[in-house]
Amino acid sequence: MLEKYPLIVRILALVGFFLVAGFVLSIVGTILSGLVGLFFRLVIPVALVYFFVNWLTKRRRSTY
């Protein structure tokens, strides 16, 4: 399809594609790093608290 266009147009199209792809990757990378940060800040501490409380309640029940 691009073979009928001049060389300069094909080069500009390729550069434009790389610019758009880089922009999209930067947005996706920002979203993914935010989700990973949220995971480490919220999910892991909540899971640790849950397992610690669960362990304490099981331990307390077995002493009665």
pLDDT in tens, 29-41: 999 999 999 888 9
The pair of three-digit structure tokens given for residue 40, joined into one six-digit string: 């480490």
Do the beta carbons of residue 13 and residue 2 sit within 8 Å?
yes
- Amino acid 44 reads I
Instruction: Give the total number of structural domains in the chain.
Output: 1
State the residue range of the domain holding 19.
Answer: 2-62
Neighbours of 30 (CB within 10 A): 10
* pLDDT in the model for residue 5: 87
Query: Is the predicted pLDDT of residue 64 greater than 80, yes or no?
Result: no
Confidence (pTM): 0.56
